[in-house]
Structure 1
Amino acid sequence: MRTRIDGDENIASGRDTIINNVSEDKQEYGVITDIFDFVLKKYKEENYEIDTESSSVRDKLIHIKKKVELNFSDADEQKEVKQYFNKLYTKINFVEKAFQTLDSEEQSDIHYYVLNNYNKIKNESKDVTQIQILYRLTDFFIPENSIKNPTYRSIAQSIVLFFFDDCTIFEKTSNESQQTSLFDLI
């Protein structure tokens, strides 16, 4: 338990100073509760519900499902990746919207960064699994001082899943068009 002093910072005179013994845990719990209440209120106001009846959302989910099954042969890994998409779907959409606001040069730089790090991890060892690549790519997006911050981790994972979905990384399904390379133009 810590002692907290509330007042006008003129504690030398002792006037307008209240000394409270406040449990730090109770105070932090109150802040957490306030934040959750605020987020839930905003969530309801802005209606972040996923409309799975929409044909575009449905098509996207079918695409993601096929892509997960193509890239992760182990049933447990498929289940895990699908859980990530399920839990992070709203954040992935936010990532997509934020990415679209970047100019084409910045988008190109980020695509290169993602693809380059994907290839580095993939080519390090023949024993590296797809799920390990997914985990390790997430770390490339987190500043070192925030590596244990769950918010940074979930957003970084959302970024990786966004690039998984847009075919920058991992294998493409047969329905996805192959990108034209500079060498296809000659």
Structure 2
Amino acid sequence: MKLPTLSSSGLLPNRPVLVALGGLGLLLALAIGPVSRAIDADTQIAAARDRLARAQAAAARPPQPAPLVAADADGLLAAFRARLQTLAGSRAVVIDTTNLEADPAQPTLPRLRAFLRGTAEGLHDLLQALETEAPLMAVEAAEFDIARAADEEGGRPLVMRASLTLRGVQLPPPPPETGGRAP
């Protein structure tokens, strides 16, 4: 039994087909690059449009009022008391005392305490102003009790006592100057 031999003349008729397939493969490889880059660019454009839409929505919102901020504890307590006096002046509210309590867990967010007396409406309006008007303050706790019952015959309204615990923001001290040049 004789094995068939390969001759170069048998491969030559297939050679143009092989060259054509090689050229087609090369064209396909060259075409895939721009197509894949176009697909990547399309996803990047969609992500950029999404970021732009979020930025436009954020810009359309009204600005948030700033919180009550001071450089040190004494300044923060003074700003807090001044804020309360401003709000209490137009309402039926009296400030009994205010104090500041440092929070070791959050040194830049000390607790501010206020002890107030006033009508239910006056205290309600004051609390609403503290939480919605600039400078913002977060009411952490509020306790109310009756200081004096209402007297309809005498025309005296109900007087309530309020004990409020709020948070202010104390800015950290600036870093000490080294006197040298910045790197």
**Normalised-by-shorter TM-score class:** under 0.3
Q: Which has the larger radius of gyration?
A: 2
Greater helix proportion: 1
TM-score (normalised: structure 1): 0.21
Greater strand proportion: 2
